[in-house]
Chains A and B, each alone.
Chain A
């Protein structure tokens, strides 16, 4: 994270800002007024001594921190790295100062209809039972000075791990950390194979040494800014509504309570925040989707130049495959691999895919779209392979 901060233009907001809607209103107003989402440092979030960083994980920041800034083949490079195991190493962490309460952190109430203040940019680490660690992003409702109601999607490995753990014991250790290498954030956002250790994946993607701090709880990166150690319990409480990344409120869930045992921060800690639905949050989702689909297509024998998941489709629902040899089979393979993708388009590199599909003949494949076990409309694959040359107008 600090590598990325070092490389960015960091806009400062030094006047006091209210964590109750004040920060998100400021960011939203700025974006509406300027059309831009610069990285902001809020140095005075009311109630906390920790500065808050917002809008950091853009594509440029993520790729810059993993050493692939301006690389047009960054997705391919990341997929290359993904194939090479890179075990993390261990060293003492930099978090040295204890905080008494979650209220000491600059945690935000993001949207007017949210159920409360939420953790959005903390990575959850769970021991996966096989000696590895499972990382993921979970929204966490601040329910007290040392209590969090943590929502885990029932379809995730984390939910499976916690459910299995609570069947055997009354509580499951969990670490929630903030900051550290952004490659870890990328790995945490990724839908990795359950057999792959998330920190191994992060070390691969980062392309350098990943240093972890171990202990009695699941590990966190040694460079983490904030580390919350606690236990997931069998107690459930209501959480949500919460303004999701797609721009609407999620329904209330009954989710497990995490009892916080310890909160530690670096002496010079910064807190990274994510505003759901904005570029910084969507980019993590998009980039991990691109790496995984690219890797899958390549392993299946398809020659893709790159894969894009446009942020306009929330980094999830539209996949664009650029290839010198696009094919119907390539589109089918992508539809098979990513069941969340509603629209998959394969076309030659550098073309305007919408224009290609509209102006020239395109082949279409249609499949049922299944969400939570029920069909909801259809998914579409489009294969564009214009074989005759054409000269586009210039002006």
Chain B
């Protein structure tokens, strides 16, 4: 839609109210999606995961701890996603699960998480609060994530 290849230096700050609003947008979209479990990608994906779990009224919850950035700093170095741990994945077998992170750029973390969920016998539906189109290198976000609530072209600072 917008020129995805265009470089940007914009920094977008989000408030807690905006985070809650974005989670609500996702919940409105997913309310009829027959979600039977929620999986948050630790750390930051746990915030929207807990919100969505409550908003959708879905109790089964699991955590995937996948590390990608080396620090919390803006423009922090990144490496290939590495799984550090998991909690409750076995409960997700046979369920349609919402796999959620706070932000998606290149999609490597979400892709790694999706593969793990499939390996665990779950049917993942992926979601993110925000897609950073500046990191997509021209790819359609739908190739990376099923649902998202906000587009930006630039760096994001969550509260």
**A interface residues, Cβ below 8 angstroms from B:** 2, 5-15, 30, 34-36, 38, 41, 51, 268, 270
Write out the residue numbers on chain B whose beta carbons fall within 8 Å of the beta carbon of A6. Answer: 2-3, 6, 8, 153
Q: Given A7-B153, A12-B149, A270-B1, are A34 and B21 neighbors across the interface (CB < 8 Å)?
A: yes
Q: Given A14-B147, A38-B21, are A9 and B152 neighbors across the interface (CB < 8 Å)?
A: yes
Q: Is the CB of A11 within 8 A of B150?
A: yes
Q: Is the CB of A11 within 8 A of B21?
A: yes
A34 to B19, CA, bound (A): 11
* Stretch binding the partner chain, chosen from B10-18, B81-89, B94-102, B109-117: B10-18
Q: Is the CB of A10 within 8 A of B10?
A: no
Shortest CB distance B127–A (Å): 11
- In the complex, which residue of chain A has the Cβ closest to the Cβ of B13? A9
A8 to B150, CA, bound (A): 10
- Interface residue count on the B side (C-beta < 8 Å): 25
Beyond A11-B22, A14-B29, A38-B21, list 9 extra A-B contacts (CB 8 Å). A2-B3, A6-B8, A7-B153, A9-B12, A9-B130, A34-B21, A36-B18, A38-B18, A268-B1
27 contacts between A and B (CB under 8 A): A2-B2, A5-B2, A6-B2, A6-B3, A6-B6, A6-B8, A7-B153, A7-B154, A9-B14, A9-B130, A9-B150, A10-B152, A11-B22, A11-B25, A11-B149, A12-B25, A12-B148, A12-B149, A14-B147, A30-B21, A34-B17, A34-B20, A35-B17, A36-B17, A36-B18, A38-B18, A270-B1
Write out the residue numbers on chain B whose beta carbons fall within 8 Å of the beta carbon of A30. Answer: 21
| B121-159 interface (Cβ within 8 A of A) | 130, 147-154
Write out the residue numbers on chain A whose beta carbons fall within 8 Å of the beta carbon of B130. Answer: 9
Shortest CB distance B32–A (Å): 10
**B interface residues, Cβ below 8 angstroms from A:** 1-3, 6, 8, 10, 12, 14, 17-18, 20-22, 25, 28-29, 130, 147-154
Write out the residue numbers on chain A whose beta carbons fall within 8 Å of the beta carbon of B28. Answer: 15
Shortest CB distance B151–A (Å): 4
- In the complex, which residue of chain A has the Cβ closest to the Cβ of B8? A6
Q: Is the CB of B29 within 8 A of A10?
A: no
A35 to B17, CA, bound (A): 9
Shortest CB distance B148–A (Å): 7
A13 to B28, CA, bound (A): 9
User: Top 4 nearest A-B pairs by Cβ distance?
Assistant: A10-B151, A34-B17, A9-B12, A11-B150
A41 to B25, CA, bound (A): 12
- In the complex, which residue of chain B has the Cβ closest to the Cβ of A268? B1
A179 to B35, CA, bound (A): 39
A197 to B28, CA, bound (A): 47
Shortest CB distance B79–A (Å): 27
A36 to B21, CA, bound (A): 10
Partner of A7, one of B10, B29, B148: B10
Residue picked from B3, B8, B151, most chain A C-beta under 10 Å: B151
Q: Is the CB of A41 within 8 A of B17?
A: no
Write out the residue numbers on chain B whose beta carbons fall within 8 Å of the beta carbon of A35. Answer: 17
- In the complex, which residue of chain A has the Cβ closest to the Cβ of B131? A12
